[in-house]
DNA sequence: TAAAATCTTGCACTCGGTGCAAATATCTCT
DNA sequence: AGAGATATTTGCACCGAGTGCAAGATTTTA
């Protein structure tokens, strides 16, 4: 009997299971990046991962999930990042710093390739939008946990909506940036503009 | 040979084609609302519309498209509504009024049922998110057409992102509203809060 | 009315995804 | 170590979405 560092039991069974899962993920990703998402069949993946087609579905409910399971960690990471900001920091700033932190630490080689894949695959692009919706939901939760007053609900929801909007617009803008630009610098600059613009919109929207 | 009011030729061929398309749409929608989206097969639809399964795909590229083809008009309607606002109106206000107008005139019985259907069908919910992305794109275009200065690009993009965010949050909120509430009243009130909140966010985001 | 253009259909096929039951591997307990 | 419980993997048969193609029906044009 084997024990992991955190004291949980992990027999041969779960070891193999984890390895198989990783093998499938690896096989799928490499195939997607090689030939594209649509041109890769589940049997291709199963073959490379040395499992049966049927077993693929024991690990992932669909082809798309292989792509997005990977990304799901981001949302949790973001929530944690926000929760760890000082309690007296205004919500707006906590989101900004939490978000920038989470993005910077998530933006590696692999993530970029994945982004490219998603961007050029219509099916995935549609599904990708759902990610933002989920993120908005989680963000709302994370913010609610921070705010003491209960009637701030609408504000919190709007903040989440607006910030996710910024994330999308900012992401697009980032993709148009010349390569070699520092993501961190860009993000800070972007948020600077963003808050300023938001204030303008707010003021124009009210009587002026 | 028959002529439509706008002077375009319309022979028996396009008449029938239009009718067939309408029949399919009608059949699909009624079945979706009766038994749900997933429980309806394309053959069910084809049968009720009295065409072959194969012909269904001559009219719609997928089952989902039947649902969303209907909604696509909204985006164009919105663009037109914004374009028709007075040129000296600030962009922010033009969007608000264009949007509220477009929403109010699109919110009929059918649209509500459709919204319900989408909300309770995961597949459609995912696809529905894409609608917002498209809307944001079109909105950006519509706004660019209004702005003279060229360096306003970022502002315009952000405005679109933020407004679509508001649309989503507002839509959710609206669905939580007690029935019988006036959509128009709600929309105006919502935007009132919205701009104010935006200004707050903007100010907090900058040094304060 | 004949030929050209277009529309509809049936058919065979691919792929994603599911249910089920048999076979295989792992774990537990003695 | 070995028997029996438990979990995993697999093959197989199946369904529904969606496509390509070619033959047949309909409409248009001349």
pLDDT tens digits, residue range A121-142? 999 998 898 889 999 999 999 9
Residues A18 and A40 in one domain: yes
Our CA-based measurement puts residue B203 at a distance from the nearest CA of chain A, in whole angstroms, of 6
Q: Domain total for chain B? A: 2
Q: Are residues A187 and A119 in the same domain?
A: yes
**Residue A61 pLDDT > 50:** yes
Residue A10: the pLDDT is 58
Mean pLDDT is lowest, of A25-29, B6-10, B52-56, B186-190, for: B6-10
Count Cβ atoms below 10 Å from residue B114 Cβ, excluding itself: 20
Query: Could you give the CA distance from residue B19 to residue B14 in angstroms, rounded to a whole number?
Result: 8
CA distance A71 to A134: 11
Answer whether B203's CB lies under 8 Å from A199's CB.
Answer: yes
Task: Clarify whether residues A71 and A54 are in a common domain.
Answer: no
Q: Has residue B6 got a pLDDT over 50?
A: no
Confidence of residue B71 (pLDDT cuts 50, 70, 90): confident
CB-based contact B126 A125, cutoff 8 Å: no
**A63 CB closer than 7 A to any strand C atom:** yes
Q: Where are the alpha helices (DSSP H) in B84-121?
A: 91-106, 109-119
Q: Which chain B residues contact residue A130 at CB under 8 A? A: 125-126, 129
* Region A169-193 average pLDDT: 94
Q: Which of B179, B64, B73, B40 is nearest to B125 (CA)?
A: B64
**Residues whose CB is less than 8 angstroms from the CB of residue A204 and which lie 6 or more positions away in sequence, other chains included:** B90, B91, B92, B93, B195
Q: Terminal CA-to-CA distance of chain A, rounded, Å?
A: 70
What percent of chain A stands above pLDDT 90? 72
* Total residue count of chain A as it appears in this document: 208
For residue B138, the number of C-alpha atoms closer than 13 Å in the C-beta half-sphere is 19
If asked whether residues B142 and B200 sit together in one domain, one would say: yes
Tell whether the model's pLDDT for residue B5 goes beyond 70: no
| Containing structural domain, residue B189 | 68-205
Beta bridge partners of A9: A3
Contact B206 A200 (CB under 8 A): no
Q: Is residue A138 within 8 Å of A79, Cβ to Cβ?
A: yes
Compute φ and ψ for A35, nearest 5 degrees: -115, 0
What residues in chain A have their Cβ under 8 A from chain B's Cβ atoms?
90-93, 96, 125-127, 129-130, 132-133, 136, 154-155, 157-162, 164-166, 168-169, 172-173, 191-206, 208
Q: Is the CB of B121 under 7 A from strand D?
A: no
Region B59-72: mean pLDDT is 92
Q: What is the mean pLDDT of residues A57-80?
A: 91
Average pLDDT over all residues of chain B = 90
Please check whether residues B88 and B53 belong to one and the same domain: no
| Protein CA at B12 to nucleotide C1' at C5, angstroms | 14
CA to C1' distance (Å), from B68 to C10:
29
Distance CA B33, CA B50 (A): 19
Q: Is the minimum distance from the CB of A9 to strand C below 7 Å?
A: yes
Whole-number pLDDT of residue A164: 96
User: Above pLDDT 90, what percent of chain B?
Assistant: 71
Same domain, yes or no: A70 and A150: yes
Shortest Cα distance, chain B CAs vs residue A15, angstroms: 33
Asked whether residue A85 falls in the same domain as residue A187, the answer is yes
Check whether residue A75 and residue A47 sit in a common domain.
no
Look at residue A8 in the predicted model and tell me its pLDDT: 44
Q: What does chain B come to in residues?
A: 208
Looking at the structure, do residues A88 and A27 belong to the same domain, yes or no?
no
Give a yes or no: residue B3 inside a domain: no
Non-local CB neighbours of B151 within 8 Å, separated by 6+ positions: none
Residues A122 and A79 placed together within one structural domain of the fold = yes
Residue B52 has pLDDT above 50, yes or no: yes
Establish if B197 belongs to a structural domain. Answer: yes
**Whole-number pLDDT of residue B10:** 60
Q: At what angle do helices A183-205 and B183-205 cross, to 10 degrees?
A: 130
Mean model confidence pLDDT for chain A: 90
Q: Tell me if B157 and A173 make a contact (CB, 8 A cut-off).
A: yes
Please determine, for residue A5, whether its predicted confidence score (pLDDT) is greater than 50: no
| Residue A101 confidence (pLDDT) | 94
Q: Is the CB of A38 under 7 A from strand D?
A: no
């Amino acid at each position: 009997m084997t024990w992991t560092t955190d004291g949980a039991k992990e027999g041969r069974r779960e070891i193999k299971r984890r390895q198989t899962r990783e093998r499938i993920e690896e096989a799928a990703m490499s195939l997607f990046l090689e030939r594209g998402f649509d041109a890769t069949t589940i049997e291709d993946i199963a073959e490379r991962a040395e499992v049966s087609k049927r077993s693929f579905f024991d690990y992932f409910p669909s082809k798309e999930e292989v792509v997005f399971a990977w990304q799901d960690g981001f949302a949790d990471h973001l929530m944690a990042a926000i929760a760890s900001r000082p309690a007296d920091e205004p919500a707006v700033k906590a989101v900004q710093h939490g978000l920038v932190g989470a993005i910077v630490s998530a933006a590696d080689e692999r993530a970029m390739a994945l982004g490219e894949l998603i961007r050029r695959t219509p099916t995935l692009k549609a599904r990708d939008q759902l990610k933002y919706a989920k993120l908005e939901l989680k963000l709302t939760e994370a913010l609610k946990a921070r705010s003491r007053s209960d009637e701030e609900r609408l504000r919190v929801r709007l903040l989440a909506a607006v910030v996710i909007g910024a994330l999308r617009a900012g992401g697009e803008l980032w993709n148009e940036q010349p390569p070699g630009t520092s993501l961190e610098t860009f993000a800070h600059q972007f948020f600077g503009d963003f808050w300023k613009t938001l204030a303008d919109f707010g003021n124009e929207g009210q009587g002026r």
